[in-house]
């Protein structure tokens, strides 16, 4: 899986990058096709809300998920849970057709 990270008003640290790579490796077993994942990490002006917008490009469709919380690491977990659910649904649809 190809991963692209973008930070808006936040620098993507090595710790965040490592956690994202570790969590994404768990998504690889659901997707047996080449995929691209683009994550946009952002923090509001006050620094209280951490948001991640995720866009996963699959051969037949795209999956979008977003999550917000008060901690970036927690937000990574939330958005990847949403992606996992949507990826499982997309995989089921492809198997049925």
Which domains does the chain carry? 2-96 (3.30.160.100)
Who contacts 16 (Cβ-Cβ below 8 Å, separation ≥6)? Answer: 41, 72, 73, 76
Q: 30 in helix, strand or coil?
A: coil
User: Contact at 8 Å (CB) between 68 and 56?
Assistant: no
Dump pLDDT digits (tens) for 47-93: 789 999 999 988 878 999 999 999 999 999 999 999 999 988 887 77
Strand partners, 64: 55
Rounded to two decimals, the pTM is 0.86
CA distance 45 to 83: 26
CB atoms within 10 A of CB 83: 24
């Amino acid at each position: 899986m190809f991963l692209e990270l973008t930070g808006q008003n936040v620098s993507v640290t090595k710790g965040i990058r490592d956690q994202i790579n570790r969590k994404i490796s768990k998504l690889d077993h659901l997707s047996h096709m080449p995929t691209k994942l683009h994550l946009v990490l952002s923090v509001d002006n006050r620094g209280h809300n951490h948001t991640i917008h995720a866009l996963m490009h699959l051969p037949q469709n795209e999956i979008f998920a977003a999550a917000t919380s008060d901690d970036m690491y927690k937000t990574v977990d939330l958005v990847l849970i949403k992606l996992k659910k949507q990826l499982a649904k997309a995989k089921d649809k492809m198997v049925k057709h």
